[in-house]
Each structure stands twice: as C-alpha cells, then as structure tokens.
Amino acid sequence: MKSFSDEEKLLIQDKFDELLKVASFVTKQEQIDLITKAFKVANSAHENMRRKSGEPYILHPIAVAKICTDEIGLGTKSIVSALLHDVVEDTDMTVEDIELQFGDKISSIVDGLTKISGVFLNRSGMQAENFRKILMTMADDLRVIIIKLADRLHNMRTLESMPPNKQIKIAGETLFIYAPLAHRLGLYAIKSELEDLCLKYLHPNEYKLIGDRIKETEKKRLTYINRFALPITSKLNDEGIEYEISGRPKSIYSIWNKMETKNISYDEIFDLFAIRVVFDPKTGITEKAQCWTIYSIITDIYIPRSDRIRDWISQPKANGYEALHATMMGPGGKWVEVQIRSKRMNEIAERGYAAHWKYKGINQQESELDKWIKEIRMMLEDPKSDAFEFLDEFKLNLFTSEIMVFSPKGDIITLPAESTALDFAFFIHSEVGMHAIGAKVNHKLVGLNHKLRGGDQIEIITSEQQQPEFEWMEIVTTAKAKSKLKNAFKDKRKVITKEGIIHLEKLLKELNLKANSTIFRKLYNHYNTRNKEKLYYKIGLEKFDRFAFQKILKRRSKNKWIKFWSVASEDPNIAAKKFDTSKPLIVDDKTKDFQIAKCCYPIPGDDVIGYKSTDDNFIIHKTSCQNAIRLNSSESEHVVKVEWTTHKILAYLGRILLKGIDNVGIVNKVTTVISNELSVNMRSISFESHDGIFEGNIDVYVHNSSDLNNLIMNLSKIKGISEVARQEIIEDTF
C-alpha cells in the first residue's frame, strides 16, 4: 500500500480546515474538539487507503461531512458521524470502539450507516430485513438516511473513476431509491442533482444534448427573466417588500423525463424555467397573507392560468414543502411558472428535513412529514408483513405525490395522488376497508374504485357481511391498503397455490408428461410471469382442463417477423463463463441466447442492458425501462451492459404515434409510405377520428432505431400529419 505523500497529507488537512470553516455554527470549543477528534480517528483508520480514483480515501468522508453541514444544514453529531461513517465497514474499528469514544448516539448513527451499505446489492431476505432495521433507526433518527444521501451524492459526483458496469449499477440504484428518498425528505436540490448525475451515466448522449441546449439558450433565458421580472420588482419596491427574484432552468433530468413521457421535443417544452420570489416576512402579518399579497401584485401585471395555481401554504406537502405556485402569461406569449416563498419556506424547500426540524413548532401545519414517519413506523412494526413486501410498500410511499381530501366531519386527510375510495377506507381504519361496499363522494354514491380528486369529501359505506376480494388489489394504490389486503389474502393464497401444484401434477400425469423447462416456459409466457409461486397460484385460480393445457403447450413462441432466443447450452458453467458483468455483451444478427423484453421492446440503437433471468435466459431491456432501473438496483450481479451492432436480418417491434387533420385518403398515404416506399412490415394499425382530427398507432417491424427514425421522418412529410413520434410499447410483463 503506497504511503501518502507530503502534498497529499497537506491536501487532507486543507480539506478538513475547509470543513470547519463552512460549519460556521460550530463555535463552542467542545464541538470543535469533538469534530477534530473524529477527523483524527478516521484519518488514522483510513491511513494510506485510496479510492478508485487514486486519491486518499479520507477525502471522501470529509466531503460527505461538508455536504451534511454546508448543503443540508445538519449539526455537530452529523458531521462527526459522517467523518466516521466508513470506519466500521472498511477498517478494524468496531461500533463498540466508536461508542466508547463518541457515545451511544453517534455509534447508533454510524451503525445504521454501516448496515445500509449494500442493502440493494441483491434481493436476498437478509438484505431486505436489514433495510427494515435501518428504517427503524430512521424512524427514530432521520440523520442516518440524510447522511447516507450525502454519501451517495459524493459518490455520484466522483463516479467517473468507476468502471462502466459499476457506473450503471450505482446510477440505477440511485435513481430507483435514493433520489425518491431525497424528494420525500424535501431535499430538492440533492434530489435534482442525483437525477441529473444518474442521467449522465444511464443516458450520456441525451444528457449532453439537453445540457448543451440549456447552455445555448442561457443568455436568451436571462434576458427574458429580466424582462419578465422588471415590472414586478418595481411594484414590490413600491409596496416596501424586501425580496429576492431569481430564475432557474428545469433540471436536465426533469426536461428529459418530460420529453420521454410526453413524446415531445426540447422545443415543445414551454416551462423550461421558473421565476422564484423569496421575501422577508413583515412583522404582524402572516407569511400566508404576504404570499397572496405578492400573488395579487403579480396578477395585476400578468394574467394567471387558473388551472395551474398550486397552494402549498394552506396545506404543505408531506415532506414539509410550502410555497405558492402560479403560471403566468409572460411577454411574447410565453407561460412562466412563478414560485412565491418566504425565507423560511425557501430554506425548508432547499434543505428539507433539517430545516423542517429547525422551524418545528413555528407552524403547526408542518406535521405531514411527522405523519409519514409515523406511517413508516407502523409498517415496520406490523408483525405480519415480510421484508420483501415491506421494501415494495416503502418504495410505493416514496414515489407518490399527494392530494388533500376531507372526511365527513371536515378533517383534512393527505393521500397519494390516484388514490381510490377504497384507499380512503383503509386509511380511516383497516376494518373499515375490509368491510367497505361503496362510498359517497361529494354526497354522490360511487364505487370503491372511484378515483379521488383534491378537495373531495368522502364517506365510506360498510357492511359486516362484506369480505375483501382479490380484485381489490387492482383497485388500491396506497401502501397501507396493499399491505393489509396482502396479509388478508396470504393464507387463502397459500391454499390456492397448493391447489395449483396438485392440479398441474394431475394434468401432467394424465398426459404422461414430465415437468421440464420447455413446459414451464410456455406456462410462464401464457401467464406473463417468471415466478413459480405466482404461476401455481394462477393455475390454482383458473384450473384449466386438459384440452386448454394441450393448447398452451402447442402454442408456438416464435413468429415469422421476430425471433426470440433462449439459452441453448445444457452446461451451466458455459453460460456462466459467457456472463461477465465487467464487459459489455456484443449483440448482432448471429447472437443467440437472448430475449427481447416485452415490457419495453428495445430495438438495435437503443441504450440497453442484459438481465440473466432465473431460467438462464438473457433478457434485453431499455435502460430507461422501469424494470431495468429496478434490476440495476436490486439484482446488479445479473445485469450486464449490452452493445448493439449492425442488424440487417432480424426484425424488431416498434410503435409510431401519428396525429393530424383527417383528410380524405390520409390512412392510404400512410400505409403506402410504410409498405411500398420503405418496404416495412406492419403488425397492426389503428386510427380514431373526431372533430376533423385523427390519432393513430402503427406497430411495425424494423431492423434498428435508424430505420424507425427514417420512417418517422418520411411520415412527417405527408401533408396533414402534424405529429409523428416513437411511442413506448408497454405490456404488464417482464
């Protein structure tokens, strides 16, 4: 191990001095002594250890501690814990050693940080159970998760030193769990940076293109912001309001995500930036009243868009976020989002939970985050839920946005967006949910699957005779409802699964067949699953007869247009030798042993990964596919980067969306371009017309993304076509 040079030792000391400098709140000598002691212990423990980049390892915990204090606003104990966060995992020091030197609170935080490392390495029961324990610590002390987020942020900032397969794995894991966690805790600046850095490694070309476009338009954007803000500043000055106005562009990731989800180009995004007004509150006037006063001043200048007002000051978001958002028609006919916040609100928005705790008690409505933590604790303490289910429910809690609804007595209840009346019933009480038969929403009778909207008032109708039904799992969206239903169905599911095994064995015996991989593959395809327990359960539910079973077995898995491959080798060692996650797999027309994922239908030219499934098939996913992001995060040891080469023989399925004016013969022109001019095979075509406008989808088989882009370009030239774009093919399978 190469010893540190004098220059490196000097650099380490300089970085630590910088940390003390940014921690300006540390004024007491005992606090400085404690931080210095932690630095000396960590520096000694990590002596001569280096990161992948070659720099001294101790620079990493110093950087994490700096993020904790400078960018998040945590205090002395967090700085000490951040400096020590890797010593137990990477050196001979133990948690007991830290407790002896720094006390039980810091040792508890360091213990939680040590355990959380590698939680998403694989989906073993031990790892998932470990995550439960970590979150139990989080429910008592959120600093564990916040310091881990700072640790992940620094790792993402220095990810270029890692090999490509590790970059993809770490970026996928970050996008899957850490960025949503940062969002949930109100750490918007960290969440945005994590998402941007993930995009940089998962979609480098798109990241560069959007980044370049933002830089190109920066001068023009600043000019427009000044033009928009000038009359506002004049009015605010006249009113004697102390404020700051700034304009910032959307993050690269949010722009990319909008382009992907809405199938639009960069130029079609109208809200590329937002104007923020941050004011100093006047004494004797509530912050809420001042927000609306500023809103009123701005609406005297610019016309607001009534359906785009977001009031998060009357009822803050679950993570404590408060602000008043409105979209205004600015000069030149451009819509501009305006965010109005007090300095306190702005600090909570930027620093999340740390600032929320600082101001706790000033505003009683800042309790939504505490409610969320309490809900996590309830899920953790549920003895019936297993580790895997909890992990899934926790993720569900992270990703949701909220709506505010009312109980019959007028109590405000926060639920995830897209919640149904049945979700509301389970929120009130699990027994209410189990016996619900209907609901009244705004005094009108509706079904349990009725989707709620913000401002709805809901009353649940129950009956003692009602029992939960399996179909309810398709109705509910909240973690609590899903968890309660799963527990209720667990015993019943076991019985049905056992019946499925017996029924399949009976059919195989009648047909003198033995269970093998071919039979299971056909059953898996029929039921859109790759899980044996789910397969037996579905067989137990359906209990098809021998004739239906024979029909499934006779069904051909290949068709004349597109080929899927399965692993041909009978020697598992040969397959294992081929699979090296450190090197990308090259796929061309001669490559075998692969399947195209039906959840995202990638084609040559797309950014893709390969996943080795349980039956030794290699499945290719687009890297932007939600299943790919999950696999990168939880089963990275089975994931490898894939590189397409030229494809001229095999054909792949792609979907094109078309919109335009419903002229006579427009469909004929479209099919002529596809079939005759470009000689592309169509699988299906569907068009709908209303009020003189048509919209349609065409599924075609192409060799690569270049062919598809060429087809889109030619279709866009047809007179009457206003929009042509590639559309994702989404099927509920994997």
User: Does domain 369-486 sit in CATH 2.170.120.12?
Assistant: no
Instruction: Pick 507 or 579 by higher pLDDT.
Output: 507
Question: In this structure, how many other beta carbons lie within 10 angstroms of the beta carbon of residue 170?
Answer: 23
SS3 of residue 635 by DSSP? coil
Q: Which one-letter amino acid corresponds to residue 426?
A: F
pLDDT of res. 139: 55
DSSP 75: -
Is 720 in a helix, a strand, or coil?
A: coil
Q: d(Cα 206, Cα 624) in Å, to the nearest integer?
A: 12
Of these residues, 14, 17, 89, 381, which one is catalytic?
Answer: 89
Q: Which two tokens stand for residue 689?
A: 């017309």
Q: Which CATH class is domain 6-206?
A: mainly alpha
Strand partners for 696: 658, 687
Report whether pLDDT(132) > 60.
no
- Residues carrying CATH 3.10.20.30, the chain: 369-486
**What is the distance, to the nearest Å, from the Cα of residue 350 to the centroid of all Cα atoms in its chain?**
20
Q: List the beta bridge partners of residue 725.
A: 657
Kindly report, residue by residue over 77-107, the tens digit of the pLDDT.
999 999 999 998 888 888 899 999 999 889 8
Each residue's pLDDT tens digit, 152-178 = 999 999 999 888 888 888 888 788 778
Region(s) of the chain under CATH 3.30.460.10 = 211-358
Residue 568 has pLDDT above 50, yes or no: no
Question: How do residues 372-386 score in pLDDT, each as one tens digit?
Answer: 566 655 655 555 555
Mean pLDDT, range 497-520, rounded to an integer: 86
- Identify residue 472 by its one-letter amino acid code: W
Domain 652-727, CATH homologous superfamily name and number: ACT domain (3.30.70.260)
**Is the model's pLDDT at 624 over the cut of 50?**
yes
Mean pLDDT estimate for the chain = 80
Distance CA 490, CA 467 (A): 14
Stretch 319-325: mean pLDDT, rounded? 84
- Looking at residue 574, its pLDDT comes to 38
pLDDT grade for 612, boundaries at 50, 70 and 90: confident
Residue 47 Ramachandran class (φ > 0 left, ψ -120 to 50 alpha, else beta): beta
DSSP assignments along 490-547, one per residue = HHHHHHHHHHHHHHHHHHHHHTT----HHHHHHHHHHHT---HHHHHHHHHHH---HH
Query: Do the beta carbons of residue 254 and residue 192 sit within 8 Å?
Result: yes
Q: Measured at the alpha carbon of residue 706, what is the angle toward residues 701 and 710, in degrees to the nearest 5?
A: 85
User: pLDDT tens digits, residue range 659-676?
Assistant: 888 777 788 888 888 877
Q: Is the pLDDT of residue 729 over 80?
A: no
What pTM value is reported for the model? 0.63
CB burial of 269-284 (b: ≥16 within 10 Å; e: otherwise) equals: eeebbbbbbbbebeee
Element (H, E) at 683: strand 681-690
Set 90, 141, 311, 695: catalytic member: 90
* Domain span(s) for CATH 3.30.70.260 in the chain: 652-727
Q: Closest Cα to residue 38, out of 79, 99, 67?
A: 79
Q: Are 458 and 441 in contact (CB under 8 A)?
A: yes
Is residue 6 flagged as an active site residue? no
Please list, residue by residue across 400-412, b when 16 or more beta carbons sit within 10 angstroms of its beta carbon and e when fewer do.
bebbbbbeeeeee
Mean of pLDDT values over 318-323: 78
Confidence of residue 299 (pLDDT cuts 50, 70, 90): very high
Domain 211-358 has what CATH class?
alpha beta
β-bridge pairing 681-690 and 693-702: antiparallel
User: How many CB atoms are located within 10 Å of the residue 568 CB?
Assistant: 9
Mean pLDDT value of segment 193-201? 94
593 is catalytic: no
Lowest mean pLDDT of 241-245, 455-459, 563-567, name the range.
Answer: 563-567
Q: Please indicate whether residue 607 or residue 384 has the higher confidence score (pLDDT).
A: 607
Q: What is the pLDDT of residue 310?
A: 87
Q: Boundaries of CATH 1.10.3210.10 in the chain?
A: 6-206
Q: Beta strand pairing status for 608-612 and 639-644?
A: antiparallel
The reported pLDDT for the residue numbered 61 is: 95
Give the CB-side neighbour count of residue 46, counting CA atoms within 13 A.
26
